[in-house]
Chain A
Amino acid sequence: MNNGVMNYSDPSIVQSAPFLSLEAVRKTYPGVVALDGFSMQVRPGEVIGLVGENGAGKSTLMKILGGVTRPDSGTVTVDGVAHDGLTVEASIGSGIAFVHQELNLFENLDVAANIFFGREPLKAGPLRLVDRAKLREMVAPLLKRVGANFSTDAPVASLSLAQQQMVEIAKALSIKARLVILDEPTSSLPIAETEKLLDVIKGLRAEGISVIFISHRLHEVERVADRVVVLRDGMLAGTLPKSDINHDQMVKLMIGRMLKEREKAAEAGRAPGGVALSATAVRTSAYPDHPVDLELRRGEILGLAGLVGSGRTELARVLFGIDERLGGSVALDGKALNVGSAADAVASGIFLVPEDRKLTGILLDLSIAQNISLPNMPAHAKRSLVSTSAELATAEKQKKDLGIKAPSVLTRTGTLSGGNQQKVVLAKWLAMNPKVMILDEPTRGIDIGAKAEIYALMRALADAGVAVLMISSDMEEVIGVSDRIAVMHEGQISGILDRDDFSQENVLLLAVGKKPKLAQAAGGAQ
């Protein structure tokens, strides 16, 4: 690591004046120092990877750049003009555009209408009709610049998530953005779509547009960033020049120490137990014509990879009884199992940690204790009346075991951080002795410290003989945590990889329905 000297891959970047420069920016909220003397620069055509744990101050920084909030002290210099703080108008006016994780698109309108919403070219005349032809003419080159493969007339609802993000970026380009800030753009994207987005970012760089790329997925930052800025506790923890950008360095700066949990989680070598859950020719609503066969063993973590829309979530929903099984059979411990509802699944020890934590994982308005006892009320009741003491005892134990950070178990779960909410979801199932635990994107939107704890929990479950099925679109996670990886393609298992054959390439090949490159000639794939 060569400290001090910044070596950029492109020397022209070094010479150009910064487009954006933050000097000693400080922002406090009552009781919290959100940003503490933070400085950074963004040069034209530079891709900055901005990383940091949740609560490190990224959101505050974004709010300052968007003009939503003013710093207490420090200066923000944009394009040579120094400001004490930006206003929303100044932010937009100087060409700063945001693409948020939650997209702000009208799904019922088409692409063109979305990009120029409120700024549509109008025909002459008193009716102020939208000039559709001119609108299309204006939108087409924007779509070309982001490499879009869809038409200006496509309804946004018909686009994939990555395509919708392209629409957002095209929208940013339409206001002549000079700095595009992407906030966790890939967290809900599948692997192949992520590739497209990274290409778009490279395209922006080539045009001289600066990009701030915020992501928890460090390998993506590694691939696309020219420089990485690490925030910790509101301060600049460090800057990594291109040559020093790697996963371990970023993590070290983010949390101030090296992380070993993931590696621990991946400790292999144990003999897997017998088959716990087996699905035979199961058909789901996603691909009714494609039967799925899958065997899940006791004591293993089976990673389920694949593109979004490959039918992974639907399979999980069928196994958990939320969706109707359209065909085939499911067996638990060798006995045929008829799961007609989630209640049936829960009764037989099959639990799901769903993809959408806030909508389906927990009840935000209920307390931690009430959430944990909810699936197992009979055990927390006497003669059909709720026993609050039993409920609190269970919750206290889980809170301690899982390290849920909250003032008390009576705290409303809605006030917890994402990682702690996810722990509550896990806690309610752990309190009930799972046989099969299905986790759908268990660490999405969770900071890296909590991620490690969740990996450790999953491993502990497997060690205790639970069969763990982990659906994940995070390649690092799938490869780092799983004992075996099953890959889905168009509703079917296209192959199963054993540890020796784990590689990003193999998972990707299977995800698009091709043959993986296996270590042994006689491969593990079907």
Chain B
Amino acid sequence: MSKKDLGLLVLILVVGAVVTAINPRFLSTINLANTSNLVALFGILSIGQAFVIITGGIELSVGSLIALLGTLFIDFIAVREMDWPLAFVLIIVLGAIIGFVHGWLITRLKMQPFVVTLCGLLIYRGVARFYTADGTAGFAFGQNFPDLEFLTAGRSGGLPNSFIALIVIAIVMWVVLHRSVFGRYLYAIGKNEEAAKYSGIRTGRVVIAAYVICGVLTALSAIYFAMYTRSISPASHGQFYELYAIAAAVLGGFSLRGGEGSLVGVILGTVLLQELQNLVNLLGIPSSLNFAVMGGVILIGVLVDQQWGVFRARRRMMEASRRNVAGAPAE
């Protein structure tokens, strides 16, 4: 765990302690279970976003995708009465295809990630609303999917199963990002795509893969969100979720220029965001201030982190020049 992540963890604990001191319900089983479920749902989404951000890209369409894929999933199993495992696979494949198309437009047709995914944001929202004729997608009375519900909204030994899913996904993605060759390529491309290309890396394929991963994880979280809310009004479901995901990554130490950030960081970022949401509820702060609190904390967090970085860089330079007694100065 890096110092950055450790700092974030300390912040989470301090905020938690303060909130508990004011309102002990923060640590109640029900509150922790609810919050960890939300952490799981947003965490899966944010990990996907993080893979795109590490390449220096951005994925703005995930909120709309959650609406579209969630609507489709409920439609598949509730209206079209498809077997849920089949619907599950279809939705994941659809997420992968959409991610692939985004990656392809960005790498092969040289479109900017912001533009491509902004258009995605508009298109998927529109399609979702059209698909249900602006109605709400939900289950009919008495419709039950015991296995699916257990996996998505159930609990094992007090832990929400969604949270267990997050832990598994996080471990796998940690290995991918921090230990695999693919992860090394992602960082290299994020740092300097040209130089990576000149080192013989097929940068296009790597970037497309990042968008596919984002698409798959978004699809997975779309199913979780759908099973969590159980009814979806496509006009508002998932709105601003792309910003939650981006905020979690930024809080977790990701640079929007790419090439920086850790998986632990993005998870901690998600935890902090959900903790703040929870804090607004528990401390009786008007919920209309919700976004303002989050925005303020992110701004201060990133600012402190950056200033700390500047301070450390300066100190390192001083030390280096002091150590460099006999040696020639670097160019």
Interface residues of A (CB under 8 A from B): 29-32, 34, 54-55, 233, 320, 322, 341-343, 345-347, 352, 354, 359-366, 370-371, 374-375, 377-378, 381, 384-386, 415-418, 428
Contact = CB atoms under 8 A, between A and B. Distances in A.
Interface string B165-200: 000000000010001111111011001101111111
Nearest to A57: B329
B199 A374 contact: yes
A342 B199 CA distance: 7
- Interface size class on chain B is 20 to 34
A359 B181 contact: no
Interface in B92-135: none
Query: Top 4 A-B pairs ranked by shortest CB distance?
Result: A346-B200, A417-B331, A55-B328, A375-B199
A343 B198 CA distance: 8
16 contacts: A32-B329, A320-B198, A341-B202, A342-B201, A347-B200, A359-B192, A359-B195, A360-B194, A364-B192, A365-B192, A370-B188, A374-B199, A375-B201, A377-B181, A377-B184, A384-B180
Contact of A55 (B184, B259, B323, B331): B331
B179 A386 contact: yes
Contacts of A55: 328-331
B289 interface: no
Contact of A363 (B191, B324, B329): B191
B322 interface: yes
B2 to A, nearest CB: 15
Contacts of A346: 199-200
B325 interface: yes
Contacts of B181: 377-378, 381, 384-386
Contacts of A418: 331
Nearest to A428: B199
B192 A342 contact: no
A55 to B, nearest CB: 4
Contacts of B281: none
A42 B201 CA distance: 52
A417 B330 CA distance: 5
Contact of B318 (A30, A233, A347): A30
A524 to B, nearest CB: 33
B191 A415 contact: no
A89 B200 CA distance: 49
A385 B172 CA distance: 12
Contact of A365 (B194, B259, B331): B259
A320 B197 CA distance: 11
Interface of B: 175, 179-185, 187-188, 191-192, 194-202, 259, 318, 321-325, 328-331
Contact of A385 (B179, B192, B197): B179
A322 B201 CA distance: 11
Identify whether the interface residues of A are mostly helix, strand, loop, or mixed: mixed
Nearest to B205: A343
A146 B13 CA distance: 67
Given A370-B184, A417-B330, A417-B331, A352 B198 contact: yes
Given A31-B322, A55-B329, A343 B194 contact: no
Given A30-B321, A31-B321, A416-B330, A343 B202 contact: yes
A374 B188 contact: yes
Contacts of B324: 31-32
A345 B179 contact: no
Contacts of B199: 342, 346, 363, 371, 374-375, 428
Nearest to B330: A417
A29 B181 CA distance: 42
B279 to A, nearest CB: 36
A516 B84 CA distance: 79
Contacts of B325: 31-32
B185 A377 contact: yes
A29 B191 contact: no
A385 B175 contact: yes
Contacts of B323: 31
A263 to B, nearest CB: 26
Given A30-B318, A342-B201, 14 more contacts: A32-B329, A233-B328, A342-B199, A342-B200, A346-B200, A361-B195, A363-B188, A365-B191, A365-B259, A371-B199, A374-B188, A381-B181, A384-B181, A386-B184
A30 B322 contact: yes
B330 A415 contact: yes
Nearest to A360: B198
